[in-house]
């Protein structure tokens, strides 16, 4: 394996959003030495074959044509001093026209290139990716950070095989969402792909098989930033102590554009679906009273607050409660994960790994697996798996992942 080409491009769907602009601005601030690497989960693995943060370039698509300085200013994540220091660089980036479709995301107000056929859309996306790669003379990763789309009917025959999907593309099927068009376009040209949103992207049999066929690394979906992160950390420990979870009531309040989209029932459903089974999986039984509420609450802006109330039964039937209140910042948690996901996908690509990269499950609420396998949700195990995977190069050929001990009940 070589590390000659040390640069990397990240092409973002939804580049002008809060997470996208924060990722770009943050990278620029780090490159200028104005910020350190706090909050970047893999910063401490810098002796491995991951692209240096300083060598990452960004571009991408958006339905708004504001340059990134204007977008970042609107989101209010970075303060005016920070933005001033990188104003020129941000102003120099104006997103490419995005594919978007009101049928899949009612928040879309300006429908840039949807007048084209699906095949033309694929072509346009691939042209963007090629130009970007040539411009920076480096490989490119595509990552979806766009607003959540409505749920798609995944059992439809067109999503079951590569062939059927290609046919549907040819037919300009209205069932294919923009997120899927981006996924197809990337895989088709060998570009690693990640889905950081709850939208349906690569996660249908047709596209997973397509990625396996082409040996293109893919990962997703739905970045694990706040409350689900907390759940997958805490629940395995409650199980280890045999504290029975009678109920887990989760409320989220957030006030950014993402929050507004989630306030729409159709999008919320996509979100809650990806959260649903995580808890049961960590505990190994079905929690009867698991409730998740997500509310748009304007005073918070990009800040987000999660309030979790956990009711447990302990020894001799005694009831106890754990309440966790996480006052966090959505984009500040999400942006570094997006960057790390791109670096890991690039590493996978260099190693010629293709299909779902399961070792990256720690980054996602609904980790993609090959062959319909149940994903691992427990945070500590996920993290161990990632660390093992990152060290595989150094350990030459040692590809064994840390597994939970044998025996169906013997889990952490």
Q: Which is nearer to a second copy, 84 or 154 (CB)?
A: 84
Least distance between a second copy and beta carbon 47 (Å) = 8
Q: Which is nearer to a second copy, 213 or 285 (CB)?
A: 285
Q: Which is nearer to a second copy, 286 or 319 (CB)?
A: 319
Chain residues 190-229 in contact with a second copy, contact rule CB under 8 A: 229
What does DSSP say about strands 8-13 and 140-144: parallel, antiparallel, or unpaired?
parallel
Three-state DSSP state, 282: helix
- Binding of a second copy at residue 251 (CB under 8 A)? yes
- Binding of a second copy at residue 405 (CB under 8 A)? yes
Can you tell me which of 113, 151, 272, 322 binds a second copy, judged by CB under 8 A? 322
Rounded Cα distance between 331 and 336, Å, is 9
Total residues found in the chain within this entry:
412
Chain residues 66-85 in contact with a second copy, contact rule CB under 8 A: 78-82
Q: Which is nearer to a second copy, 233 or 370 (CB)?
A: 233
DSSP secondary structure, 78-111, as one string? S-HHHHHHTHHHHHT--PEEPP--TTT-TT----
Q: Which is nearer to a second copy, 215 or 293 (CB)?
A: 293
Q: Which is nearer to a second copy, 7 or 251 (CB)?
A: 251
**Which token pair is 366?**
């609904």
Can you tell me which of 190, 295, 370, 393 binds a second copy, judged by CB under 8 A? 295
Chain residues 374-393 in contact with a second copy, contact rule CB under 8 A: 378-381, 383-384, 387-388, 390-391
Alpha-carbon torsion (399, 355, 187, 24), positive or negative = negative
Chain residues 136-175 in contact with a second copy, contact rule CB under 8 A: none
- Binding of a second copy at residue 297 (CB under 8 A)? yes
Burial category of 205 from C-beta neighbours within 10 Å (exposed 0-12, middle 13-18, buried 19 and up):
middle
Please measure the distance between the N-terminal and C-terminal CA atoms of the chain and give it in whole angstroms: 35
From the centroid of its chain, how far is CA 2? 27
Taking CA 376 as the corner, what is the angle to CA 181 and CA 294, rounded to the nearest 5 degrees?
A: 65
Chain residues 259-288 in contact with a second copy, contact rule CB under 8 A: 288
- Binding of a second copy at residue 183 (CB under 8 A)? no
Q: How many C-beta atoms surround the C-beta of residue 131 within 10 A?
A: 13
- Binding of a second copy at residue 38 (CB under 8 A)? yes
- Binding of a second copy at residue 399 (CB under 8 A)? no
């Amino acid at each position: 394996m070589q590390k000659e080409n040390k640069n990397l491009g990240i092409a973002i769907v939804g580049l002008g959003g809060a997470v996208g602009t924060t990722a770009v601005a943050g990278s620029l601030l780090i490159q200028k030495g104005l910020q350190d690497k706090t909050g970047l989960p893999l910063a401490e693995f810098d002796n491995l074959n991951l692209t240096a943060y300083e060598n990452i370039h960004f571009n991408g698509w958006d339905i708004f044509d504001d340059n990134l300085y204007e977008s970042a200013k609107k989101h209010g994540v970075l303060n005016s001093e920070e933005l001033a220091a990188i104003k020129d660089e941000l102003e120099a980036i104006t997103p490419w026209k995005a594919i978007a479709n009101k049928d899949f995301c009612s928040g879309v107000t300006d429908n840039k290139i949807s007048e084209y056929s699906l095949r033309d859309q694929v072509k346009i996306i691939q042209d963007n990716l090629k130009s970007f790669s040539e411009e920076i003379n480096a490989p490119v990763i595509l990552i979806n950070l766009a607003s959540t789309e409505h749920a798609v009917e995944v059992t439809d025959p067109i999503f079951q095989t590569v062939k059927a999907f290609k046919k549907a593309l040819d037919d300009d099927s209205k069932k294919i969402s923009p997120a899927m068009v981006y996924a197809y376009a990337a895989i088709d040209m060998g570009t690693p792909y990640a889905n950081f949103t709850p939208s349906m992207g690569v996660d249908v049999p047709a596209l997973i098989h397509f990625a396996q066929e082409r040996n293109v690394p893919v990962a997703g979906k739905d970045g694990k930033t706040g409350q689900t992160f907390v759940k997958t950390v805490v629940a395995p420990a409650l199980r280890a102590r045999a504290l029975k979870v009678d109920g887990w009531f989760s409320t989220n309040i957030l006030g950014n554009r993402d929050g507004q989209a989630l306030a729409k029932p159709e999008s919320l459903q996509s979100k809650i679906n990806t959260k649903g089974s995580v808890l049961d999986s960590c505990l190994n039984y079905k929690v009867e009273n698991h409730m998740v509420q997500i509310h748009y609450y304007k005073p918070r802006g990009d800040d987000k607050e999660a309030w979790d109330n956990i009711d447990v039964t302990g020894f001799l039937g005694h009831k106890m409660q754990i309440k966790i209140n996480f006052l966090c910042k959505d984009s500040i948690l999400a942006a570094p994960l997006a960057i790390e996901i791109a670096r890991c996908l690039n590493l996978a690509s260099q190693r010629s790994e293709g299909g779902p990269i399961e070792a990256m499950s720690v980054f996602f609420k609904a980790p993609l697996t090959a062959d319909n396998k149940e994903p691992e949700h427990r945070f500590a195990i996920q993290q161990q798996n990632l660390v093992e995977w990152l060290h595989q190069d150094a350990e030459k050929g040692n590809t064994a992942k840390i597994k939970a001990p044998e025996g169906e009940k013997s889990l952490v």
